[in-house]
Structure formats: C-alpha cells, structure tokens
Amino acid sequence: MTSRRWVTVAILMIVVVPALAGTMKEARADVTADCEFLEISAKAGGKPAIDAELSPVEKKLKKPPFSTWNQFKLLSRSQKSLVKKKAEPVSLKIGAATATLVEIVDKSKVRLTVTMDDEKGKQVANNTTTVEAGDYMIYVHPLANNDGHLLSLTCK
C-alpha cells in the first residue's frame, strides 16, 4: 500500500468508524418505559373494602366516578417494559388489553395508547393519554349489576 492509501485508511478510521459507532448506539438505545398494571373488580356493597395491594390508587378509587363502588378487589398485577411504537399484550383475568408506548414527553411523562377488550373480545376502551411518571391512570369498563372492571397503570 502506498503512503497515500494509508493516510486515506487512517482518515476513514478516525472519522467514519466513530460516526458509525455513534449511529449504532442510537439505534440500540430504544425508548422504553417500565409500567405496572393493576386489574381491579369494583362492586357496590354493604361494607366498604379495598384490597391492601390497591393502596397506591386508593385515593382515586374514593373519588367520582369510582365512588359509585365501595368494594375493590385486585384481580391481577403485571409488569411490562414497553418499547416505543410496539404494542404489548397485558395479561388480564377478564378480557384482554394492550399497551403501546407512543413517546416520552418532557422526560417525566409517558404518552400511551391502551386498549381493553371484554371477555367476548369486544373493545371497551381505546385511549391515548399522557401520564406523569408515578401517577396512576384508570380505565373503566362498566359491567352488569352496576359492577365495574378497572385497569389501572403507572409508568416510570
């Protein structure tokens, strides 16, 4: 190899390779959010009762429109790491749900699209909303006999 070629190769190694490495790092650094999902049954009954595991959302459950019910039972709890623009199934005891991370907003909020289907596969919720990190969002599906099926979520 002539000295001119060595200089060209050296310049490529100094300029191009680090630039490509930076691009590869950006491609691997997917936008993600870690989320927790709480599936809750809601009923109106004689004695108020809220499962201890629902303490993070207890204040919300005591306010309208949730105050229609006074008995809340945790049906399931799951954790998901959501990747931007990828729909993730959320396991539920009643029906099914999916969550999609749309974007991170202001570094402390997540914009999510959540769909919820009843046990017959009929879509009962489809909403895109922005949630502050650590706050809880609750989706409601009213059932027969004035019962409710709720899906609460929070993300970091």
Domain ranges of the chain: 1-29, 32-155
Q: Mean pLDDT for each 10-residue chunk of the chain (156 residues)?
A: 52 52 52 96 95 96 94 97 96 96 94 96 96 94 94 95
The structure's pTM equals 0.80
Neighbouring residues of 58: CB distance < 8 A, sequence distance ≥ 6: 50
CA 34, CA 106: separation in Å to the nearest integer? 16
**59-76 core/surface letters (b: 16 or more CB in 10 A; e: else):** ebbeeeebeebbbbebbe
CA 35, CA 155: separation in Å to the nearest integer? 4
Confidence at residue 30, expressed as pLDDT on a 0 to 100 scale: 82
* CA angle centred on 120, ends 58 and 88, rounded to 5°: 60
